[in-house]
Amino acid sequence: MPRLTRLTPDTAVGASRDLLADLVSRHGRIGDMVSTMAHSPAVLGGYLQLSRAMGRAKLDRRIGERISIAVQVQQGCGLCLDAHVGAARSLGVDEEEIQLARAGTSADPAIAAVVALALQVYREPASITDEQVTALREYGYSDRAIAEVVGVVALNVLTGAFNLLAGLTPESATRA
């Protein structure tokens, strides 16, 4: 059962009402997480800005979804995990790779290395070494793509932690 209520453009106030109204006008509906985030215009606005910014990332989305799966397995947000598994499938990531992502790895050594880095960013960023970053460059990752790993992890921490706090689960999600 959700711990926080969902808001609509009619029930939200101030900046949150404006943000929700804009989202509804552009997309036709809003999801449970976004409607619940509207309790804080700062959280909702920050999420929307980071989400839009990461939409412009150069890191391959199929890799980003594997990172998201690995992080959400660790964080424990079933709602996010389901969404990222679905997104990975829609991008053509096969079931074996999805299962490997759940385990924090990949059959492809280059992807395994970047997923491992992402999990390290999530768990213990102070332990990242120069050698790890050099190895990622040797696999062909640009400094931009390496930096974007932090953005993917940060977005997952925000959404997963929020959903867990709010009590949003796959079972509680409204199906629209």
In this predicted structure, the answer to whether residue 175 has a pLDDT above a threshold of 70 is no
- Return the pLDDT at 174: 61
Calculate the average pLDDT of the chain.
Answer: 95
**C-alpha closest to that of 61 among 152, 143, 135, 161:** 152
* Segment 123-160, tens digit of pLDDT: 999 999 999 999 999 999 999 999 999 999 999 999 99
Q: Is the pLDDT of residue 116 over 90?
A: yes
Domains of the chain: 14-54 (no CATH), 61-166 (1.20.1290.10)
**CB-based contacts of 166, cutoff 8 Å, min separation 6:** 2, 3, 4, 33, 36
Which pTM does this prediction carry? 0.93
